[in-house]
Chain A
Amino acid sequence: MSAEFYFGVEVFLNGLMAGVMYSLVALGFVLIFKASGIFNYAQGVMALFAALTLVGFQNGQIPFAHLINTIFGTELSTFGWTLPAFAAILLTLGVMILFAVLVEKLVLKHLVNQEPIILFMATIGLAYFMEGFGDLMWGSDIKKLDIGIPQGGNRWIEDHTAFLGGDNFYGFYIDTLDIYAAVIAAILVSSLVLFSKYTKTGRALRAVADDHQAALSVGISLRTIWVIVWAIAGFVALVAGIMWGSKSGVQFSLSLIALKALPVLMLGGFTSIPGAIVGGLIIGVGEKMFEFLIGAPFLGGATENWFAYMLALMFLVFRPQGLFGEKIIERV
């Protein structure tokens, strides 16, 4: 086997790792969509906001310091202490739950029974609001996020695979962080599945997903469910934010992972958790392999920007219900 082949395999593996990340974000979308029929465009910004808040707590930043300084002419910046990662994560989780409550109270409650597309546009507004709000609160400079997950190429894998490819091949390069992300995502997904299968709240969640009216009629509180779902989605966003933030810093571009997750959803179907995982993997591998085999050598590179969308688009034209969706019978 040539070194070229093993590079291909390495690209494939890295695609899988990236795919896990995409799945993680897509999962947040699926949760909210299943429970409330809302396509939450703000999921990516939620991840950004969560990561910003986490870093802010860790470093003991004073919220809105920049704004307060501007108005009152003060020189505030930090409280002067730092928090351990674990405490900061818990606090951030609290903020995300508070956020879920506020979203339900201020936005969702007033948009019940609106068409899905109106709700979708409302979440675009929400995304804009949170983006500006997050920047006002914590500042818009690029921040480093470190909660102690090791980073960089995994030496062990490199050392133990180097024998495969001869002289020009030094073993597979896989980021340790990606491996952590994959494991955490797997744990997260399985616990969510267990949660929705075996707990009372989980059953209520699935009931709401199937039929709002029927769920209401058996005494399930729609509003409580929404808060729970948005809080869980906030938690998923926090995890995604930690992973992506550790990898490439906390900055505006983190919110763009939402754009990466959208094609995953189109592929996997908006209502299917396994769909989100499989779709994420297909897109992660697909875009890396396409870039490696066709994009970089023939098209000038950077095809990752659109490949996922084109793939999802082509796929949808032939199978509008997605990978795992059920066939739609139209009625009049």
Chain B
Amino acid sequence: MSTVETYTTPDGRTIGAPVMEMKNITLRFGGVVAIKDISFDIREGEIRAIIGPNGAGKSSMLNVMNGFYHPQEGEVWFRGKIRPPMRPYQIAGQGVARTFQNIALFKGMSTLDNIMCGRLTHMKTGMLSHILWKGKAEREEVEAREKVEKIIDFLEIQAIRKKPVGSLPYGLQKRVELGRALAADPELLLLDEPMAGMNVEEKEDMSRFILDVNDEFGTTIALIEHDMGVVMDIADRVVVMDYGKKIGDGTPAEVLANQDVIDAYLGVDHG
């Protein structure tokens, strides 16, 4: 049992008990070991980053966290309880939402419908009420819409509300995807390279949204990112992976001072 202790960040936020704990996770694909015996936790209210070179196993880690991959060894603890093997949609129902490295929006739907999809786990009416529409279903629909409109305002995408997402530029699609994840009111938000392929300006926008989400809604966030500069600016604590192993864990400053991390990023002088 990990000790429950809180800590305070340099900017004065209090970080609480662990939301998700990964304990000795090992994941293999056939003979290939993608993740080897990794443990770390993500605490309430913090922004936790996972970094590492290409092929380090970061995305696989995220896939383990939301139940898309099932590790051969190790345990995932959620809210202080061990998580039994579950399908990804059940884990979504527990309050884990995510975005994807290669945008995974629903191309045939509008921005609005995409974000409404994020509310699915909170909406309880069944098919019969949907058929009748008037009454319960319509009420629930309007309630969800109000929530979704708040997110649309927050992400400043009012103008593209009814546009099909397929036709939107890349940066906006990323934003809609974030909106869809936010609509679920997640307890834990997983972001898979939210800034990949963006220019400096878009990266700044996205960083601001991530910080605001954390700040305004108190959402716990775990993110994978390549851009060290951005990570060091926004993350509270960082896990560093290399070749499926954890080589560093701590605040950005601690990680930057870690010799293993420097070796992994800059290469070791074997001379």
Binding site for B on A (CB under 8 A): 329, 332
Contact = CB atoms under 8 A, between A and B. Distances in A.
A173 to B, nearest CB: 49
B239 to A, nearest CB: 20
B68 A332 contact: yes
Interface residues of B, number: 8
Summarize B's interface: helix, strand, loop or mixed: loop
B265 interface: no
B29 A332 contact: no
B100 interface: yes
A45 B231 CA distance: 59
B266 interface: no
Contacts of A329: 29
Interface in B83-102: 100-102
B63 interface: yes
B268 interface: no
Interface string B55-89: 00001000100001000000000000000000000
B194 to A, nearest CB: 15
Nearest to B98: A332
A198 to B, nearest CB: 32
B142 interface: no
B192 to A, nearest CB: 8
B128 interface: no
Given A332-B100, A332-B101, 6 more contacts: A329-B29, A332-B59, A332-B63, A332-B68, A332-B102, A332-B104
Interface string B211-242: 00000000000000000000000000000000
Contacts of B29: 329
Contacts of B59: 332
A245 to B, nearest CB: 44
A263 B74 CA distance: 42
B197 to A, nearest CB: 16
A332 B104 CA distance: 8
B190 to A, nearest CB: 11
Contacts of A332: 59, 63, 68, 100-102, 104
A332 B68 CA distance: 9
